[in-house]
Amino acid sequence: MDRIGVLTSGGDAPGMNACIRAVTRAAIAKGYEVVGFLKGYNGLLYNKYMSLSARDVSDIIHCGGTILGTARCLEFKEWDNVVKGKENCDSLFLKGLVVIGGDGSFRGALDLTKAGLPCIGVPGTIDNDIACTDYTIGYDTAMNTAMEMADKLRDTIQSHDRCSVVEVMGNKAGWIALNVGTAVGAMAIITMERDFNLDEIVGKMKAMQATGKHHFMVVVSEGVCNIEGITADEIAAKLAETTGVEARATNLGHVQRGGNPTLRDRVSATQMGYHAVNLLDDGISRRVVGERGGFVIDYDIEEALKMTKPFDMNLYHIADEISL
């Protein structure tokens, strides 16, 4: 019997399990057996897998993480290992593979297609940094988690008349920072996509102090801290020194990757996983599934990897203009 394989790769994201479930059940409904590779491409390379029945994916739709485990497998960048992975898939009679992950994972899938294995990518990352889709699995949950954490910080900064500088994930992309910053009414949102000037932020904060505001929140994306080299602690120190407001930095960190997926993540994961199996069943390969304007679509992997995603400057300006 033909089999469909599935793996999760890169950083985990809430909703990956819902996608594994959808892939498994859609494939079973079409008469395939399903194999789940463990720990991303490592499972493919070292023949570590589990068969997935409809019951094996029961009661996981609401769970964060991934039942298959995940990893970033550097060895899979070597062509000999891609070929080895393809041979392992052949010995399992795989008709095709669904890869749930980010851009790095899609490069592995593209290489596998070059070695002759049909592959489909499904965007699973909290960062929403995949250009061919409006939306990635895990992004909504991560934003809501970060928002809840920032709301809790608001309670304490309000009580103590402090400033909170909150660092959020997103890799090089500022999507989480932009939306969380907007949702929590941050005084300033600092992301890589837009030049920022700390003196301007200080000026804005002083103007707000003059109107009677005593507590402040700044949301900064980790890309600014990791790549531009200014830490959230340094931002907090500068704001405290120049305004006299006590400031603290909080890095929300990996908590943003955990937790039960939101409704949106579960539904998108289900739609995209289902679509991926349909493509393989129709004999279509080398595609990345995505969402555009609420519709599930797909693009050639190579084309998808070359796309760029324009940042939502409009939202940025709205948030900026009304933080008075």
How near is the Cβ of 55 to ligand F6P at its closest, in Å?
30
Tokens 């990352």 appear where? 125
Q: How many CA atoms lie within 13 A of 18 on its CB side?
A: 26
Q: In the annotation, is 127 catalytic?
A: yes
How near is the Cβ of 26 to ligand F6P at its closest, in Å?
26
How near is the Cβ of 123 to ligand F6P at its closest, in Å?
11
Site string for ligand F6P, 163-202 (x = CB under 6 A): ------xxx-------------------------------
Q: Which is nearer to ligand F6P, 268 or 285 (CB)?
A: 268
Q: What is the size of the binding site for ligand F6P (CB under 6 A)?
A: 9
Q: By the 8 A CB rule, do 70 and 17 touch?
A: no
Q: What's at 302, amino acid-wise?
A: E
Q: Which is nearer to ligand F6P, 172 or 213 (CB)?
A: 172
Q: By the 8 A CB rule, do 258 and 203 touch?
A: no
Interacting residues with ligand F6P between 116 and 135 (CB under 6 A): 125-127
Q: Taking Cα atoms as reference points, which of 221, 216, 211, 183 lies closest to residue 201?
A: 216
Active-site annotation holder among 127, 140, 281, 298: 127
In the chain, what is the straight-line distance between the N-terminal and C-terminal CA atoms, in Å? 64
3-state secondary structure of 294: coil
Residues 6 or more apart in contact with residue 299 via CB below 8 angstroms: 132, 287, 288, 290, 307
CA distance 193 to 223: 10
Interacting residues with ligand F6P between 277 and 306 (CB under 6 A): none
Site string for ligand F6P, 238-277 (x = CB under 6 A): -------------------x--------------------
By CB under 6 A, name the binding residues for ligand F6P.
11, 125-127, 169-171, 222, 257
- Write out the catalytic residue numbers: 127
